Amino acid sequence: MEDEALQLGLSALLCRLPLNLDVSAAVDEADFARRVKESRPDFVIVTNALGAALLALRDEVAGPRWLMIVEEYQVAEEGGLAILPADGYLVRQNLSAEGLERALRQLAVGEMAIPLALGRQLMRRASGAAPAPRLATLTARESETLMLLVRGLSNKQIGRRLRISEHGAKRLVSSVLLKLDAANRTSAVVNAIKAGLVDEKELAGTA
Q: Taking the domains of the chain in order of start, what are their residue ranges?
A: 4-108, 132-204
Tell me the three state secondary structure of residue 51.
coil
Percent of the chain residues topping a pLDDT of 90: 8
Coil, strand or helix: which one is 70?
strand
Instruction: Flag whether pLDDT at 137 surpasses 60.
Output: yes
DSSP string, 22-39: -----SSHHHHHHHHHHH
pLDDT band, residue 207 (cuts 50/70/90): very low
- Give 203's contacts (C-beta < 8 A, 6+ positions apart): 116, 119, 120, 123, 150, 193
CATH number for 4-108 (one of 1.20.140.10, 3.40.50.2300, 3.30.450.270, 3.10.20.30): it is 3.40.50.2300
Among 3, 53, 11, 9, CA closest to 32: 53
Give the whole-angstrom CA distance, residue 126 versus residue 19: 36
Determine contact, residues 63/85, Cβ cutoff 8 Å.
no
Convert the pLDDT of each residue in 108-128 to its tens digit: 887 777 777 666 666 666 555
- More confident site: 66 or 57: 66
Domain pair 4-108 / 132-204, same fold: no
pLDDT in tens, 83-104: 466 788 888 888 888 889 989 9
**pLDDT at position 162 over 90:** yes
When computed from its CA atoms, the radius of gyration of the chain, rounded to whole angstroms, is: 17
What is the model's pLDDT at position 122?
A: 63
Cα–Cα distance between 182 and 189 in angstroms, integer? 9
User: Is residue 184's pLDDT more than 70?
Assistant: yes
Given CA atoms 109, 110, 115, 120 in this order, what sign does their dihedral have?
Answer: negative
Residue range 132-204, CATH number: 1.10.10.10
